[in-house]
Amino acid sequence: MRLLPDLALDLLPTLFAVLLLLGLAILVPVGLLSASLRRRRWSEAVAWAGLLSMGFFSSLLVATLARDLVLLALRLAGMLTPGFLHGSAVAVPLLAFGVTALGFVNARRLARVVKVDVPIAGLPLALQGYSIAQVSDIHVGPTIRRPYLEAIVERVNKLGADAIAITGDLVDGSVHRLAPHTQPLARLAAPDGVFFVTGNHEYYSGAEEWIAEVRRLGITVLMNQHVIRRRQDASLMIAGVADYGAHQFHPAHKSDARAAAAGAPAGVDVRVLLAHQPRSAPEAEKAGFHLQLSGHTHGGQFFPWNLFVPLQQPFVAGLHRVRDMWVYISRGTGYWGPPKRFGAPSEITLLRLVAAPVAV
């Protein structure tokens, strides 16, 4: 309605454009519900078409709103011309297509490795350089399948981290449908173990079944629990909590940072918490953790939705301080919904503990 009149097309091209837009719009909800289709071959094709359409319409909406603001400003200034009306109407869908195509390439390429040093006050020498590889928000599902995950596993293993953390939103779908595609996780290996905590999407996909499946793959699931790892005379706790909103699906899964640390030996040198959502941080800090690893936000995934993340979460991405605790938020290793990333590249994070500078 906003673009077609200013394109000044003939009747047949206009009719074709209307039908095309209508077809793409219908594909969006059909694509989201494609998992319910009985024929799996068709469900995958419909999912791809629908989710690509969702990404395109998102950019089309943003570009159309931006154009309207420019048109309003030009109209108020008395500078609006028919040529600009036509040219900008042509530019908007071209821009939306270009951003969607670039976003597709960014989303489908293998996540880069981001290296982060986390300064810990009083860090024992034996834990200097201790490393944790973090992956988060892979979202194995309609468009992320086994080959995509195999590439992630290979790159993570090559990092040679002391421990590996999967901070939730691993899947979008049932164990029955996706177990063949998550099988590569069994090849993840680190000296101190591979750990998993639930994200909100596990609870949309059958959390109990996925917890059992992840354990079957040889990964330690931390449900408000911890393990202790030692280096010479130094000790490190790796704890994990269920997703921030898990209790809404399973009351027994209520996220509890204090319970995760309960029963730990006195004098643990470093306490690390895996928690899917950044908003778990205040309770984690009160429970005495030094570092929280989170995901959930995807870094916004693509502009301008990153601007809305702060409405729900205290941080969007990167390393931040919550009083006496650090919290690191991954931009995610996969993506949700549209295969599209723009301004928020995916990442595999290698976090390294280092001694904080001593204040003089």
Q: Please report whether residue 159 resides in a domain.
A: yes
Q: Looking at the structure, do residues 117 and 262 belong to the same domain, yes or no?
A: yes
Q: Looking at the structure, do residues 166 and 276 belong to the same domain, yes or no?
A: yes
pLDDT at 117: 98
pLDDT at 36: 59
Buried b (16+ CB within 10 A) or exposed e, 23-42: ebeebbebbbebbeeeeeee
pLDDT at 35: 62
Q: Which of 70, 86, 108 is the last residue of a domain?
A: 108
Q: Looking at the structure, do residues 139 and 287 belong to the same domain, yes or no?
A: yes
Number of structural domains (the chain) is 2
pLDDT at 262: 96
Q: Looking at the structure, do residues 25 and 96 belong to the same domain, yes or no?
A: yes
Q: Looking at the structure, do residues 98 and 188 belong to the same domain, yes or no?
A: no
H-assigned helices in 33-174 = 40-76, 82-108, 146-158
Q: Please report whether residue 26 resides in a domain.
A: yes
Give the domain extent around 24. 4-108
Low-confidence ranges of the chain (pLDDT < 50): none
Q: Please report whether residue 326 resides in a domain.
A: yes
pLDDT at 359: 62
Q: Looking at the structure, do residues 192 and 274 belong to the same domain, yes or no?
A: yes
pLDDT at 30: 79
pLDDT at 304: 81
Closest CA to 114 of 320, 356, 318: 318
The CATH number given to whatever domain includes residue 145 is: 3.60.21.10
Q: Please report whether residue 360 resides in a domain.
A: no
pLDDT at 34: 67
Q: Please report whether residue 75 resides in a domain.
A: yes
Q: Looking at the structure, do residues 176 and 322 belong to the same domain, yes or no?
A: yes
DSSP for 154-186 reads HHHHHT--SEEEEES--BSS-HHHHHHHHGGGG
pLDDT at 308: 86
Q: Looking at the structure, do residues 206 and 301 belong to the same domain, yes or no?
A: yes
Q: Looking at the structure, do residues 96 and 132 belong to the same domain, yes or no?
A: no
Q: Please report whether residue 351 resides in a domain.
A: yes
Q: Looking at the structure, do residues 55 and 154 belong to the same domain, yes or no?
A: no
pLDDT at 27: 84
The structure tokens 């918490």 sit at: 273
Q: Please report whether residue 46 resides in a domain.
A: yes
Write out the two tokens for 65.
């709103």
CA–CA separation, 164 and 134 (whole Å): 6
List C-alpha distances in Å: 294 to 204, 272, 311: 19, 11, 17
Q: Which of 108, 134, 159 is the last residue of a domain?
A: 108
pLDDT at 185: 98
